[in-house]
A = this chain, B = another copy of it.
Amino acid sequence: MGSVSRRGLLTASGAGVAAGAVATAGAFLLGEPEPEPAASAAPPQAVAFHGPHQAGIATPVQDRLHFAAFDVAVSTREELVALLVSWTRAAEAMTAGRVSAADDSGEALDLPASRLTLTVGFGPTLFARAGEDRFGLAAARPPALADLPAFPGEKLDPARGGGDLAVQACADDPQVAVHAVRTLARIGLGRVSVRWSQLGYGKTSSTTPAELTPRNLMGFKDGTGNIPYDDRAALDEHVWVAAADGPAWMTGGSYLVARRIRMHLEAWDQVTRQDQEATIGRTKTEGAPLGGKGERDRFDPAALPADSHVRMAHPTANGGVRLMRRGYSFVDGSDSQGRIDAGLFFLAYQRDPRRQFVPMQRRLATGDRLSAYIRHVGSGLWACPPGVSPGGYWGDTLLG
């Protein structure tokens, strides 16, 4: 690719390239699911940027997240395209472990690609804002990108919601994810502004059944029934937009729903283990469905408590629909009452939120016993276009 490692570009002579900073770009076949990363001693790893789908969706979930929602400040379609082209070029470099510009901010200079993925989405306001067809895109807005309805119990902070554009940066090293979002913000200086952002310190929803299922801050394993990253049939059925779904520019794309879910951990911690397990519908230690022994035992959801979270969220209770969850735990300090400001930053990819997230959340918001211990405080919805081909750019099926 004629490019150099992160250090190479900034080293005057170019001779001081550290072996550890040379990423193994292109190690994966385009369109093939990436192999599960080695549990330890992993070599510097790069996830392929190009392909039919954006990376960061079916990619095995990385350890850390930095997420940012941006508002677009430019006013013409040409300027929007120019922004997305420059972001794409930078993402191609960074996901391969390279720097994107000579004035790189530098904090990731010595770090390998760390399985960085950058995934971009287009929010409803990009298509029209207050009735204004800003970029001539109003007619292209997908019906599935319908504004989310209000849900019972939510208390949304407008300062943590919406955004013309979303960028999800995931990596196994937090510094790499932080650097990537910062770099895109720098490239967009004057053309976009950060509306809100969120650091996720640890994944809660694995998409790799063979690895230990991570636990959320309630102490329970999370994501046991998640769609595996390599289950092509389930991905096609539940995650990737099909040609028949329309609009054509979204074929191979997916819809992202983000929810900042604050957990009332002080209250949860006062609940007995038995009550916690009845609330979730699984045992705490093993993550087994109540009445079962093993986490992945087959079970009859109807045998769980009627208002338990697992039963309420189970596909059998939701017309068979599923979501691909890629959530992360967050801890953002403490509030003025000394309560920890922590919870789950829920990220879910799906083929049509109107059939998936929305009806499921309607049920959970009213019937799920867990809802007494959580509150949705931030929300966003974006249409994530399909993957980029070499030479292309994010959104070229829409804007090209």
| Given A202-B175, A333-B199, A107 contacting B194 (CB threshold 8 A) | no
Contact A107 B332, beta carbon cutoff 8 Å: no
- Asked whether any CB of chain B lies closer than 8 Å to the CB of A307, the reply is no
| Given A202-B174, A219-B105, A333-B199, A340 contacting B286 (CB threshold 8 A) | no
Contact A110 B333, beta carbon cutoff 8 Å: no
Contact B194 A338, beta carbon cutoff 8 Å: yes
Q: Mark A34-77, 1 if CB is under 8 A from B, else 0.
A: 00000011100000000000000000000010101000000000
Q: Chain B nearest CB: distance from A309 CB in Å?
A: 15
Q: Which residues of B contact A108 (CB under 8 A)?
A: 215
In chain A, residues 173-222, which have Cβ atoms closer than 8 Å to a Cβ of chain B?
A: 173-175, 178, 182, 185-186, 189, 193-199, 201-202, 212, 215-220
Contact-residue bracket for chain A: 35 or more
Residue A332 contacts which of B7, B11, B333 (CB distance < 8 angstroms)? B333
Q: Which residues of B contact A40 (CB under 8 A)?
A: 40-42
Cα A110 to Cα B159 with chains together (Å): 35
Q: Mark A308-346, 1 if CB is under 8 A from B, else 0.
A: 000000000000000000000101111010111010000
Q: Which residues of B contact A340 (CB under 8 A)?
A: 182, 185, 194, 197
Q: Chain B nearest CB: distance from A71 CB in Å?
A: 8
- Asked whether any CB of chain B lies closer than 8 Å to the CB of A16, the reply is yes
Cα A204 to Cα B185 with chains together (Å): 23
Q: How many copies does the complex hold?
A: 2
Contact B11 A106, beta carbon cutoff 8 Å: no
Q: Closest B-chain residue to A39, C-beta based? A: B41
Q: Which residues of B contact A269 (CB under 8 A)?
A: 103, 105, 182, 186
Contact B66 A219, beta carbon cutoff 8 Å: no
In chain A, residues 235-285, which have Cβ atoms closer than 8 Å to a Cβ of chain B?
A: 265-266, 268-269, 272-273, 284-285
16 CB-based A-B contacts, threshold 8 Å: A68-B334, A103-B273, A104-B219, A105-B218, A105-B268, A106-B285, A109-B284, A174-B201, A178-B217, A182-B269, A189-B266, A197-B334, A199-B199, A199-B331, A199-B333, A332-B333
Chain A residues engaging chain B, CB cutoff 8 angstroms = 7, 10-11, 16, 40-42, 64, 66, 68, 103-110, 159, 173-175, 178, 182, 185-186, 189, 193-199, 201-202, 212, 215-220, 265-266, 268-269, 272-273, 284-286, 329, 331-334, 336, 338-340, 342
For the A-B complex with A185-B340, A332-B333 known, give 9 more contacts whose Cβ atoms are closer than 8 Å. Answer: A16-B285, A40-B40, A40-B41, A64-B201, A105-B218, A106-B284, A107-B215, A182-B340, A197-B331
